[in-house]
Structure 1
Amino acid sequence: MRTVFVFPAGERAETIAALDRHLNQQRHPWSLDGNLYIDIDDEQNGCLFSDWEPDDVTVLDGAVGFHPTWAVQIDGTAEVHQLVALLLEHGGVAIDDSSAHPWTVPEIQSGAVIDGVRFFDFRAYHELNREPKRS
């Protein structure tokens, strides 16, 4: 599975309410069609940023204008785009496994390419980071 961290604009309670409205089957984690698993991670009581490079956290802080202390963590595949658009409808950014770039909804929806990859483009990421074959 691939992971995306979403940093929505607004309060944590608003995000939880939106997840409850749209994904009312279950909670902790929420699930979308058994293909996406969604939970809230935070810096104080969870693992958020524990394995991030400090420079990547600095880039994120600059993109959102402050240091976020919580995020929606989504594990899954193709349905990620749909849920990220929902969570970011009022602003914010998302970061995936394929780049440290803080993606906005317009960038995601337009298919923008940053550093050789699109949002959630793990195939291109692996191609770019593949070690050359030895002769």
Structure 2
Amino acid sequence: MRSVFVFPRLDQLGTVAVLDALSPGQNAPWLVEDVLYCWLETEDGILYPGWEQEADKRLIPAIGHRPDWAIEIEVSGRVDGTEQLRRLVLTLLEHGGAVLDDYSDHAWTAGEIRSHARYEGLTFFDFRGSYNRLI
């Protein structure tokens, strides 16, 4: 599984309502577009343990504080999932916020995702570009 953590500016109840609408009758996890598994993660759960301090250095400037919750989205390895993930993340970031992916050291905003911006040569959720760097 490949994953991202979305830190929406929309409050937690509003975000849960969005996910409920996209995945009626399901939660923990929400299954969106048959390939995205979404969980609400909190600071007192598994949100930050094991995160490098670099994650805070990226996240806090992008959002202005260290959030106490996020939506974790896992993408099945059996599918590409890029377009489904982009749609969901842009929906969750409609009111602002940022997202961290597994491939870059950058907190991505909706504007950067929409414009296919690059950070150190990678776009958002650029698992192909990341893989090509390794070979």
Residue 102 of structure 1 is matched in structure 2 by: 107
Equivalent-residue separation in structure 2 for 1:39 and 1:125 (angstroms):
25
Matched, 1:27 2:27: yes
User: Cα RMSD between the aligned structures?
Assistant: 1.3
State the percentage of identical aligned residues: 40
Equivalent-residue separation in structure 1 for 2:24 and 2:17 (angstroms):
10
> Which of 110, 122, 130 lines up with 1:117 in the alignment?
122
Residue 39 of structure 2 is matched in structure 1 by: 39
Matched, 1:80 2:85: yes
Unaligned 5+ runs, structure 1: none
Unaligned 5+ runs, structure 2: 76-80
Deviation >4 Å, runs of 4+ = none
Q: Counterpart amino acid of 1:10?
A: L
Cα offset for 1:119? 0.1
Q: Is the 8 A contact 1:40 1:71 kept in 2?
A: yes
Q: Is the 8 A contact 1:94 1:102 kept in 2?
A: yes
Instruction: Output one character per residue of 1:59-92: Cα deviation in whole Å (capped at 9) or x when no partner.
Output: 2012100111110000112211010011000100
Equivalent-residue separation in structure 1 for 2:124 and 2:22 (angstroms):
23
Cα offset for 1:35? 0.6
Aligned residues: 129
Equivalent-residue separation in structure 2 for 1:42 and 1:115 (angstroms):
30
Cα offset for 1:29? 0.5
Secondary structure of residue in 2 paired with 1:67 = coil
Normalised by the length of structure 1, the TM-score is 0.89
Q: Is the 8 A contact 1:25 1:31 kept in 2?
A: no
Equivalent-residue separation in structure 2 for 1:51 and 1:87 (angstroms):
25
Q: Is the 8 A contact 1:92 1:104 kept in 2?
A: yes
Equivalent-residue separation in structure 2 for 1:25 and 1:123 (angstroms):
34
Q: Which has the larger radius of gyration?
A: 1
